[in-house]
Structure 1
């Protein structure tokens, strides 16, 4: 046990360890409050005194919810070692989150946005106080769970921090090599002498690598053999990176460098968010400080993302769910253009349903009038353009799954199990996404068919049956099977994780370990088999059927549109005919009255079929004709009413 005047901890409760200090979980002697204490070792006192006290001074200056709080500075007993008493974050670091097999391919979109918000807010507070951190990385971003279950991330470890204005430079080197700016990497890692001074933008490079890591689950710059084994190539990748590239890899020894300008397909971030994020990464992962963005532009662009709201749009024709990021103060016209950028459906061809009802979006109104959407309750976009649904694009998890080697290698077996488990979680995620997509297809189609139910009765019944089948236990059976395999794999993984720290295994334990490896591989194979044969194939078959049904709906809509046009034309012609007949009737009645009054023969209209009759006969004939014309006018009025009712039959709006 160790202690200060107010706090007590055990050396077994180690939270983290660095070159100059160790961090432990501790408690207040009086209140029992849990805190974190940073205890400095002998090496830390070898540094100049101004460096030793710099962290205390920096933390005392800072006060922000996204920066770890400093409660007190105390000393241990006889050794009189300095101890920083800080806020305790019970959920570990962002690095521990990313190292979980569940996040092998990066964070979900909602969690990534929380990380982005917290890092940007914390860094903004640092810059407001003229402080450069110099060691930004996932391991120095702690996670705390709030009262409502939300994640809160906090910047920590200010041992390398110092006060520095935007126009000032420094020459000392700190940081972790995978996250170091290339200029600092050259001197600190490659030990090459150079006279470069560094500015505050070195933090931006580290933030870029950290955000890429959080979005994808891996580092952006990876030489063959890994960053720590091939340092020269690591330096080449970061310094030779073309403008706009956000990642670089070397896939074989002495092989070429390959550049990426987009996030990998395995990333969980939507295309809508990626389109906002990638330009930011490209401009802060810029080796030339003159070309790199400054913090002002970085804060402006990231704040622009964080201030946007997301509208979920499911394109029924493409069978793809889109996340459209817009500002609440934007007009709906801007939203329609943003949808066009992601779907290629022109605004004039966009029609929407929401929860089964037509949703008319007036371009001049504010985007605040758009209904609140979620991934499971999106706006359904229906386009007039008929196209084959492309569906979700994804990478087969089988391509990313490693294999066990025959010999017993505790660390290697742990790494392989972790990789298999990560691919398994990716399979589960994709299976759920495919199932959700299949449900959105059927639900959206069901709603469209309901709108057109007078002429689509047969298609409506088919989709209703399919939707009921999908909602049954049969539709989710494959998900349960994948989850079951993952649960069994996780138990073996935990055993491997436990075994790796042991010096070795006994004979019986080794045999059990081998059997576990075989069983783990079988489970992984079964998991992928279920994913491929039941979920993916089912989804692909649903896409084909969905395409057939969509074509039927488009044909029906086009027929209805033609009928509507014909009804409107008939209505116009009928109104014109009625007006003409009324004029003729009025003229004939006028002529009849004149004849009866004057008692003389009048000239008949040009169309009169009875020329030159006697006046008495003419009067009788005109009376007869008047009666017939009145009957005809009444019939035409009735017909006109029927046509008007037909023209009011609801049809699906144009897309």
Structure 2
């Protein structure tokens, strides 16, 4: 097995500054011996970017323009390979031209040795491996960055397959990162030393790759040295992609024996070959202990459940050792493209107090979106109500999902359920459980590793603290909006007092019963309005407290100080040892680092976790109040509906009486005859003309009342006219 260079397109910036005399065309004598060049390019051997079994990669400059490039210089061992193998990488790179494949600029030769040199695109931001090795990514990449990696790797691999090329050494170290003009990440596949042309139905028998990312069949022969005559196909790249994507999503390898992948290779092979269908990871936690299987990504992963539900089936089907069960590239490209073509809708569920990422296609209907929300929140579509930025958001199921407002994590759709439940809040693992301890003695490598692990847990605590604080803010803001919408409904219900006044003028038999109903409704309205007003005041006060919270700044301050010590440990580990004074400083740094970590965790637990848990309890109580209030409003709505029906009946009776009186008045004018009195007149013996005018006025008032009652009924039952809630 050959181990390819960690990167062939460049990794980090040079650790050694350029010599100031270089611009004058002179180099110090000690440097001249370390300088190497081709006709057009020049580099120093200290500027090493990566090294493998057959080549080294350096940062170089164009002699004329000064342009930075990466040069891959082949060593003596590379020339012991068959010539066909030697020239394969040149030929492969010349055939490829894609933004997610490292570019080949030229093939040159070094001076008298005539060693071949590949001149390639330089990526100053290092490899995906260097990104994952940063403490801030100890638990995997953020969701947005992971999607960039997925998009770039899929696009690059698709270009390889279109050109009939199998890479055979996919891993984070062979995926370079370039920062675009707008600050966006661009990832590029590199190191094609093991690549060769291979159609989908062709096989090969030679073994290449890096063992943690190697297909089990290749691992068996290359690492365990077991004789077997298996031939391998293009699917070996899919296995390596699966391990790489898992690593990018979680910060860890999926298959880990006790002590690490390279400590017990037999167990490593067992984990990959005995993995049950659907499992995406396997771990041995104890020496000689049982194997434990995982079918989901760990809770420490930064990917949302919405994305995880799309990604996990892909990982399960490409991390499949049996070729007959493993997906081919066509299905892999189809399923990953399906993810990448989706848009995300951010939904904050008030019942759960959790932000959800709902991935849907823009051409889907809103009905599909509502079902997707149901799968993540367990709130049935018929029970879902939405507000966006304080406005009622009516989602018509038959419309396209394109009609849904553009959301972000800080500005999501707010979901309210008509069914009450106890909020569970954000699920997370306590970062304190992942903090290693320093060994008592001075061990530069061990101290560096421990500091890196502690710092990684610290960054995880910072992210969780930010998420918990944002969750509190969304709870308060969302509830305020729904309280305000209920108060708007209450205000309109107060119009019922007009009905009581008008009905009193009619002096009907039902006056006492109706007046009692309306009086009871008025009392309920007053009590409800007071409850909502008090709740609104509480929410405003709590939101001010959240805005004044300084726990995030305190955690960040601890992290900044810890990072400086970590950088010193990282630098010291490269040295063979420390002098007495330096060692004493190193010991003090370990003590200070531990104190800072303890303070960070204290702030996280006491200022964030405890306050968040208390806010969840309070949120649950307030949600119950809101549900009770809405139920009261619905009962009042039923009463309003009954009043509306009776008012309409009264209006019809008035109209009939008015018609009769008008007819009688007309007869008086034309015939001068005395009309017989109506059988049951509501008003005794005023002049007939005055009575008609009075009845006409009363009839008009009844028409207005009926209209108002219909409007109020609609407001109460559906709360369909909710004005924008003011910011608090």
Give TM-score scaled by structure 2 length. 0.85
Per the alignment, residue 560 of structure 1 pairs with: 633
Q: How does 1:325-344 map to 2 (within 5 A)?
A: 325-344=359-378
Note the alpha carbon deviations across 1:270-313, whole angstroms, 9 max, x for none. 01000100000000000001100000000000000001111111
Matches within 5 A, 1:343-362: 343-362=377-396
Distance of 2:405 and 2:675 partners within structure 1: 74
1:174 aligns with 2:208: yes
Match of 1:645 in 2: 708
**Residues 188-203 of structure 1: pairs in structure 2 closer than 5 A:** 188-203=222-237
Kindly indicate whether the alpha-carbon contact (under 8 Å) linking 1:349 and 1:654 is maintained by their aligned counterparts in 2: no
Matched, 1:529 2:602: yes
Quote the offset at 1:573 in angstroms: 2.5
Deviations 1:175-203 (A, max 9, x none): 00000011111111111111111110110
State the match for 1:312 in structure 2: 346
1: CA distance, partners of 2:244 / 2:675 = 104
Matches within 5 A, 1:59-458: 59-453=93-487, 454=491, 455=529, 456-458=532-534
1:614 matched residue in structure 2: none
1:2–1:9 Cα contact (<8 Å) kept: yes
Q: What secondary structure, in the 3-state scheme, does the structure 2 residue paired with 1:648 have?
A: helix
Residues 139-189 of structure 1: per-residue CA shift (max 9 Å, x gap) = 000000000000000000000000000000111110000000111111111
Name the CA distance, whole Å, in 1 between partners of 2:447 and 2:636: 68
Q: Distance in 1 between matches of 2:353 and 2:344?
A: 19
Q: 8 Å contact 1:179–1:209 — kept in the other structure?
A: yes
Does residue 1:579 correspond to 2:652, yes or no?
A: yes
Answer yes or no: is the 8 Å Cα contact 2:141–2:251 preserved in 1: yes
Q: Does the CA-based 8 Å contact 2:647-2:705 persist in structure 1?
A: no
- SS of the residue aligned with 1:318? coil
Q: CA deviation at 1:608?
A: 5.0
The Cα of 1:651 is off from its aligned counterpart by 4.9
Residues 1:33 and 2:67 aligned together:
yes
The 1:586–1:642 alpha-carbon spacing in structure 2 relative to 1, beyond 3 Å, is: closer
Moved more, 360-369 or 253-262: 360-369
Larger mean CA deviation between 121-130 and 359-368 belongs to: 359-368
Structure 1 residues 601 and 155: CA distance shift in structure 2, 3 A: closer
Quote the offset at 1:358 in angstroms: 1.0
Q: Distance in 1 between matches of 2:221 and 2:591?
A: 47
Deviation (angstroms), 1:569: 3.0
CA distance 1:414–1:621, change in 2 (3 Å): closer
After superposition, the Cα gap between the structure-2 partners of 1:110 and 1:578, relative to the gap in structure 1 and judged at 3 Å, is same
After superposition, give the CA deviation of every residue in 1:336-365 in whole Å (9 maximum; x if it has no partner): 111111111111211111111111112121
CA distance in 2, matches of 1:647, 1:583: 22
Give the number of equivalent residue pairs.
641
Verify the 8 A CA contact 2:475 2:619 in the aligned structure 1. yes
More off after superposition, 643-652 vs 274-283: 643-652
Note the alpha carbon deviations across 1:540-588, whole angstroms, 9 max, x for none: 1111121222222222222222223322332232113321342355357
Q: Look up the SS of the partner of 1:538 in the other structure.
A: helix
The yes-or-no answer on 1:465 pairing with 2:538 is no
Stretches of structure 2 that go unaligned for 5 or more consecutive residues are: 1-34, 492-528, 721-728
Aligned: 1:480 with 2:547: no
Q: Within the alignment, does 1:52 sit opposite 2:86 as a pair?
A: yes
* Contact 2:486–2:719 (CA under 8 A) maintained in structure 1: no
Partners of 1:522 and 1:652 lie apart in 2 by 58
1:464 Cα deviation from its structure 2 partner: 1.4
Residue number in structure 1 paired with 2:562: 489
Which segment drifts farther, 134-143 or 491-500? 491-500
Whole-angstrom distance in 1 between the partners of 2:640 and 2:50: 77
Preserved contact between residue 221 and residue 249 of structure 1 (Cα < 8 Å): yes
| 1:88–1:651 Cα change, 3 Å | farther
Deviates more, 1:256-265 or 1:517-526: 517-526
User: In the alignment, is residue 635 of structure 1 matched against residue 698 of structure 2?
Assistant: yes
Counterparts of 2:641 and 2:673 in 1: how far apart (Å)? 46
Q: 1:152 aligns to what SS in structure 2?
A: strand
State the SS of the aligned residue for 1:268: coil
* 554-563 or 630-639, larger mean C-alpha shift: 630-639
SS at match of 2:100: coil
- CA distance 1:396–1:124, change in 2 (3 Å): same
The 2-side partners of 1:524 and 1:652 are apart by 54
Q: Secondary structure at the match of 1:381?
A: strand
Q: Deviations along 1:599-623, whole A, 9 cap, x unmatched?
A: 7998x98x6599xxxxxxxxx9888
Q: Say which is worse superposed, 585-594 or 27-36, in terms of deviation.
A: 585-594
Aligned: 1:506 with 2:579: yes
Per-residue CA deviations over 1:373-404 (Å, capped at 9, x if unaligned) read 11111111111111111111000000111001
Q: Greater CA deviation, 455-464 or 260-269?
A: 455-464
Q: Is the 8 A contact 1:351 1:653 kept in 2?
A: no
1:544 maps onto 2:617 in alignment:
yes
Match of 1:517 among 573, 587, 590: 590
Matching of residue 24 in structure 1 with residue 79 in structure 2: no
Counterparts of 2:684 and 2:607, CA distance in 1: 83
Find the aligned partners of 2:285 and 2:684 in 1 and give their Cα distance. 102
CA distance in 1, matches of 2:211, 2:671: 114
Q: State the alpha-carbon separation in 2 of the partners of residues 439 and 108 from structure 1.
A: 21
Which deviates more from structure 2 when the two are superposed, residues 456-465 or residues 129-138?
A: 456-465
Q: In 2, are the aligned partners of 1:216 and 1:266 still within 8 Å (CA)?
A: yes
> Can you list the C-alpha shifts for 1:64-115, whole angstroms capped at 9, x where unaligned?
0000000000010111111000000000000000000000000000000000
Q: Structure 1 residues 608, 371: CA separation in 2 closer, same or farther (over 3 Å shift)? A: closer
TM-score by length of 1: 0.94
The whole-number CA distance in structure 1 between the counterparts of 2:692 and 2:114 is 117
Matched-pair contact (CA < 8 Å) for 1:318–1:388: yes
Contact kept, 8 Å, 2:661 with 2:692, in 1: the verdict is: no
SS where residue 15 of structure 1 aligns? strand
Q: Distance in 2 between matches of 1:151 and 1:182?
A: 32
- Give me the whole-angstrom Cα distance separating, in 2, the residues matched to 1:544 and 1:622: 67
- Separation of aligned partners in 2, 1:365 and 1:547: 33
The change in CA–CA distance for 1:644 and 1:158 in structure 2 (over 3 A counts) is: same
